[in-house]
């Protein structure tokens, strides 16, 4: 495949960064197509640890061209902080049509979350929802405006007036135009040299047969359209959103690899039918280091849920699975897999649209025997213990998607390719 999408199949944090880093070694171009600095993963390069939130995963490799496409929302301050930490030479292009996250978006994110009280979404407070809201309401700011000083000044002046009126209603501190303008026009100057029409660039790259990896952020269950609404993010991490979010034709996307944790995790609020508590959840959280990269919050833990994964396959499209963190399950006697739900006495194999109905879904499980052998050093599928292979085979059978790769630890050499996919 020459054009592959990396998709998170659950609620995010599936280990997409690690899979993207691995596949990026074979890519000419890596494209981030949605979300903003609500995402996050750690990359180790030349013995140095980098936390990436906005920049595409190919940024540390000078041979790779990186694109931040039109579907993204970019916080200029976070952007400047992030590129300043990259000590290698890099290649980067930013879409002139991506939207800019401004300080009032962060304030509104916090204010609306506080207003919702215990019914809040549990957002990352990075201003993502308010920025996409403004985009849809046609009062957002494109990068093209942001880097044009007079237009930025005029637009910001009007927007701050409107947003301060909104913040006042919410009893939230107001913002000062001059302070924001003076700070942000400096960021605009740093950003400007990277800005271009990235759709044009990508279409030309495809004409010259470049290998392109599209890097999704979050997971399909957090998709605004197909996720567990309203406990979702405000963009679409599906493979099906790539054409719209990058400006290429749908048929130019050749396939998607669905990154799937060997169990389930979730941060933030909202139903999670296969959630578990107690000692086993603590064990998995500790061994899997299940704490958010962006917020540090402990992640909720659950058994693998294949209703979710079949849903993701339908709404996103998945050519292969990349099963991650398989090693975290080592030493657990019996592993459960959710195969369907019971809702009001009826067995269902779908995610209800109404969140109240989803909350009442009780998963039905099958049980698989676990393994106790250390698998962190395996180099091939054949090296895996019998029961680990059976576990993976069951996943393939239940979802109907072949395994393209799997991983057994955080290092790049602990990722094992099963199929030649990219
Ligand atoms: P927002 O994207 O900050 O608006 O947050 C909306 C929901 O998406 C919350 O439940 C967040 O915890 C979740 N979320 C956003 N980004 C990520 C991510 O990168 N990994 C996991 N969850 C995320």
d(CA 228, CA 114): 21
Closest by CA position to 194, among listed 298, 354, 353, 55: 55
> Which amino acid residue places its CA nearest to atom 15 of ligand 1?
38
Is beta strand 195-196 parallel, antiparallel or unpaired with respect to 255-261? unpaired
Q: Checking phi first, is residue 309 left (phi over 0); if not, alpha (psi -120 to 50) or beta?
A: alpha
Q: What phi, psi does 407 have (nearest 5°)?
A: -135, 150
d(CA 102, CA 36): 12
Which residue among 222, 293, 295 has the greatest number of ligand 1 atoms within 8 angstroms of its CB, and so is best to mutate?
222
Does residue 19 have a cis bond before it (omega within 30 degrees)?
A: no
Cβ partners under 8 Å of residue 154, min gap 6: none
pLDDT tens figures, 14-52: 999 889 989 999 999 999 999 999 998 877 777 777 889
**95 pLDDT higher than 80:** yes
pLDDT of res. 295: 81
d(CA 140, CA 319): 35
pLDDT of res. 214: 98
**315 pLDDT higher than 80:** yes
Which residues have any ligand 1 atom within 6 Å of their CB?
A: 11-13, 38-39, 121-124, 126, 128-129, 217-218, 222, 231, 233-234, 267-268
Rounded to 10°, the helix 103-116/149-169 angle is: 20
How far does residue 244's CA lie from ligand 1's centre (Å)? 21
d(CA 103, CA 148): 18
Other Cβ atoms less than 10 A from the Cβ of 382: the count is 7
pLDDT tens figures, 330-377: 999 999 999 999 999 999 999 999 999 999 999 999 999 999 999 999
SS3 at position 324: strand
pLDDT tens figures, 406-417: 999 988 889 999
What single DSSP character describes residue 46?
Answer: T
> Which amino acid residue places its CA nearest to atom 16 of ligand 1?
38
For Cα atoms 67, 127, 217, give the angle at the middle one, nearest 5 degrees.
40
Q: What phi, psi does 258 have (nearest 5°)?
A: -95, 110
Closest by CA position to 36, among listed 79, 84, 97, 65: 79
For 352-384, the DSSP string reads -SSHHHHHT-EEEEEEEE---S--TT--SGGGS
What percentage of the chain has pLDDT greater than the value 70? Answer: 100
Nearest atom (ligand 1) to Cα of 126 = 3
What's this model's pTM, rounded to 2 decimal places?
0.96
pLDDT tens figures, 97-152: 999 999 999 999 999 999 999 889 999 999 999 999 999 999 999 999 999 999 99
Closest by CA position to 160, among listed 144, 141, 137: 141
How far does residue 16's CA lie from ligand 1's centre (Å)? 14
Catalytic residues, which ones? 13, 41
How far does residue 316's CA lie from ligand 1's centre (Å)? 18
Average pLDDT over residues 380-390: 97
- Under the banding of pLDDT at 50, 70 and 90, the label for residue 382 is very high
In order of their start, the domains of the chain are 3-77+199-417 (3.90.170.10), 99-193 (1.10.300.10)
């Amino acid at each position: 495949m020459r054009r592959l999408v990396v998709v998170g199949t659950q609620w995010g944090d599936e280990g997409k960064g690690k899979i993207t880093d691995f596949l990026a070694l074979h890519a000419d171009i890596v494209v981030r197509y949605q979300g903003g600095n609500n995402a996050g993963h750690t990359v180790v390069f030349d013995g140095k640890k980098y936390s990436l939130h906005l920049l595409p995963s190919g940024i540390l490799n000078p041979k790779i061209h990186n694109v931040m496409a039109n579907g993204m929302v970019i916080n200029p301050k976070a952007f400047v902080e992030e590129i300043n930490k990259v000590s290698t030479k890099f290649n980067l292009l930013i879409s002139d049509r991506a939207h800019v996250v401004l300080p009032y978006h962060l304030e509104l994110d916090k204010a609306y979350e506080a207003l919702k009280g215990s019914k809040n979404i549990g957002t990352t407070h990075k201003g993502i929802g308010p920025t996409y809201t403004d985009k849809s309401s046609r009062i957002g700011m494109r990068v093209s405006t942001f880097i044009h000083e007079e237009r930025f000044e005029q637009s910001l002046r009007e927007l701050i007036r409107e947003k301060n009126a909104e913040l006042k209603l919410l009893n939230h501190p107001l913002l000062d135009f001059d302070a924001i303008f003076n700070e942000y026009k400096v960021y605009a100057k740093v950003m400007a040299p990277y800005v271009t029409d990235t759709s044009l660039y990508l279409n030309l790259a495809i004409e010259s047969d470049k290998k392109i990896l599209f890097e999704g952020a979050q997971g399909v269950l957090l998709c605004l359209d197909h996720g567990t609404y309203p406990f979702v993010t405000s963009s679409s991490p599906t493979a099906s959103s790539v054409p719209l979010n990058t400006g290429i034709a749908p048929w130019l996307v050749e396939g998607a690899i669905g990154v799937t944790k060997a169990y389930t995790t979730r941060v933030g609020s909202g139903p999670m039918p296969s959630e578990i508590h107690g000692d086993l959840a603590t064990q998995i959280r500790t061994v899997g280091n299940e704490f958010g990269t962006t917020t540090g919050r402990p992640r909720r833990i659950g058994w693998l849920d294949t209703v979710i994964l079949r849903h993701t396959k339908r709404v996103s499209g998945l050519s292969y699975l990349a099963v991650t963190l398989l090693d975290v399950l080592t030493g657990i006697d019996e592993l459960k897999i959710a195969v369907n739900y019971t809702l009001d006495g009826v067995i269902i194999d779908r995610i209800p649209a109404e969140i109240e109905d989803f909350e009442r879904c009780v998963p039905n499980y099958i049980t698989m025997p676990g393994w106790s052998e250390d698998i962190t050093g395996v180099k091939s599928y054949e090296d895996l213990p019998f029961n680990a292979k059976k576990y993976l085979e069951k996943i393939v059978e239940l979802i109907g998607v072949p395994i393209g790769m799997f991983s057994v630890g955080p290092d790049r050499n602990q990722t094992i390719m099963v199929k030649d996919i990219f």
